[in-house]
Chain A
């Protein structure tokens, strides 16, 4: 099914358009996200955080999809989706605390930066293995439907994940069971060093949905409004019992795969410069300027405020207490097993007395 056919199958509704009164707010979030990205790369280079996976270039896809979801929907993220968590109400402080793995980190310092989990926002814990969240999103969607909950689940993943066996398993289950799931593929062109055409000979990633018996659509991932509309329609289909949709948001990863990566080994700077001409932040800014919702002075203020907000969160994170030294024994099981209790007691002897806290 082509995008056009999907549009026919799901009649457009006024609510499919990005809400006009939230465009400026979306831009503020986008600026916050871009500023956070810049700051986090610097923090990693300075040795203040251990790792970071940037999202620059993908903000419109992230924001457009996040705005299109309902609070009760469930998000199964990969590791560039902190913007989605922010839109759903996770605090910037809790995001930054995760990056610093301090005592404010809701994941208790267990994982590398970018592997968030926010229960209150139905933002499921991210892992590093690629694609594993995809069948999980399908299972959660089946569970929600069995409880008659009118919600959708959304799985975020990249172009590389479409080669994983979990992508196949999840897409296939979703097709067979008509699961209310949105598969949101951010095709950013590169899976670390491998270009999109090293993942598949398929003309589009969205086209893979054909084989599983449900629609796939390609959307300009630099256009926050277009992404919003695509996800709204997919969500309506899902909640109406019409089954899943695969959305391929075409974006470009401006930065490295992560702070451990040097993209100049595998792609030309000119390619990045060319992609930056389609920068989603500039694009939304231009739209707001021409709609007279923003002027240059207002824009400068938004950037300044974003940097200030981030500085506040970084300062607080660096002042926060570290995670408790023996807390890594918690949450392995619902309660400490006898063996873990013994190991924990042994490990306690390694911990300096002044650092021992519950």
Chain B
């Protein structure tokens, strides 16, 4: 075990994956000499050389397009998009090409690329360094979407993503890059994709969250505990494929659910959680399903703390669920 920050855990996962598999390579802007603007790839160029840690021209289309070609040929590229906010030039390559390659070729051309991107607010990044737009990718068949919330999960999930056979959008909560620290197994933590984790057990209300929303959700659960409300906190970890069984099981136990994410509310992932529970846990529900989310505005710079869900908002939604009906 080693105590690491989340970004160090990402770095360690990349190091281990490249060390154990010569087909793994990295490409992106500033990932080589500079070690990544967040230092996620620090030291990797020195260790693995410029053929495997590739500083690319400033073109997301080129990064993901080239990564798709590398994967078709048989390598396992990990493409870094500097901020999720900058991924859109590559959107066509991701949703039209990467996501559909296996399918449209009748299984002849699997295409395994991991696209890493820091996402989310809370770092004073304004409109274009703060967004949380995972729903775009969750809506596209063929992609897996993974969001870790702890250093151990960041390492374990990234290793699983790199070893997976399908394309993975790996969203890293940049707000937690340095603020989240924790013990990380030195080997492979073996965190499988598609499995949610109960972070805190409870019996009265299920708080369903992921990524950077886990710390404020846990804080809300602690506050609720002092009020005699037993909140269960579920970290989804993988949005696609969603661990539906764990979500349904938790709500069947508690009868109340609040979905939490910093992405905009309308058509956000919380809507999918609410629909899932309406379809599969309706008769267990004792209260309307709550959603605590970002607002349906662009991401504001000066007022980001009002935009982002925090522990008081999450706790308030849980109290509303407790008193409803």
A interface with B by C-beta (< 8 Å): 74, 76, 105-108, 110-111, 115, 117-119, 124-125, 127, 129, 132, 134-144, 146-147, 153, 165-166, 168-170, 172-173, 176-177, 330-334, 337-339
Contacts and interface: CB of A to CB of B under 8 A. Distances in A.
A108 to B, nearest CB: 4
Given A136-B68, A139-B69, A172 B106 contact: no
Most buried by A among B56, B62, B102: B62
A118 B77 CA distance: 23
A258 B61 CA distance: 28
A333 B106 contact: no
B108 A106 contact: yes
Given A106-B108, A117-B104, A176 B57 contact: yes
A117 B109 contact: yes
B179 to A, nearest CB: 33
A140 B103 contact: no
Contacts of B51: 146
A76 B101 CA distance: 13
Given A119-B108, A141-B69, A143-B74, A132 B57 contact: no
Contacts of B108: 106-107, 117-119, 125
B300 interface: no
A136 B106 contact: no
Contacts of A135: 61-62, 65-66, 68-69, 93
Given A143-B70, A176-B57, A337-B241, 7 more contacts: A106-B105, A117-B106, A125-B101, A129-B92, A139-B65, A139-B67, A147-B74
19 contacts: A107-B104, A107-B106, A108-B107, A117-B106, A124-B105, A125-B104, A132-B65, A132-B93, A132-B96, A136-B65, A139-B65, A139-B67, A140-B70, A166-B92, A169-B59, A169-B65, A170-B65, A333-B142, A339-B242
Interface of B: 25, 51-52, 54, 56-57, 59, 61-62, 65-75, 77, 89, 92-93, 96-97, 100-110, 141-142, 144, 164-166, 194, 240-242, 244-245
B29 to A, nearest CB: 12
A104 to B, nearest CB: 11
A334 B112 CA distance: 10
B57 A127 contact: no
Contacts of B103: 110, 331-332
A118 B89 CA distance: 29
A119 B105 contact: yes
A119 B89 CA distance: 28
Contacts of B66: 135-136, 138-139, 142, 170, 173
A105 B106 contact: yes
A341 to B, nearest CB: 10
Nearest to B113: A139
Nearest to B110: A334
A127 B69 contact: no
B56 A173 contact: yes
Contacts of B109: 117, 119, 124-125
Contacts of B164: 334
Nearest to A134: B65
Given A132-B92, A139-B68, A166-B61, A110 B241 contact: no
B107 to A, nearest CB: 4
A142 B70 contact: yes
A170 B93 CA distance: 12
B65 A127 contact: no
A106 B106 contact: yes
A168 B73 CA distance: 22
B69 A140 contact: yes
Given A138-B65, A339-B244, A146 B59 contact: no
Most buried by B among A129, A146, A333: A333
A333 B242 CA distance: 14
A136 B72 contact: yes
Contact of A331 (B75, B77, B96, B102): B102
A127 B74 contact: no
A338 B105 contact: no
> Which 3 pairs, one residue from A and one from B, show the smallest C-beta to C-beta distance?
A139-B69, A135-B65, A139-B66
Contacts of B61: 135, 165-166, 169
A88 to B, nearest CB: 14
A333 B97 CA distance: 14
Contacts of B104: 107, 110-111, 115, 117, 125, 127
B238 to A, nearest CB: 10
B62 A170 contact: yes
B73 A140 contact: yes
Given A117-B104, A119-B108, A332-B103, A136 B166 contact: no
A246 B7 CA distance: 41
A173 to B, nearest CB: 5
A334 B74 CA distance: 15
B67 to A, nearest CB: 6
Given A132-B97, A143-B74, A339-B244, A107 B105 contact: yes
Most buried by A among B59, B61, B194: B61
B44 to A, nearest CB: 16
A118 B108 CA distance: 7
Contact of B70 (A139, A170, A331, A334): A139
A191 B51 CA distance: 38
A108 B92 CA distance: 23
B232 to A, nearest CB: 22
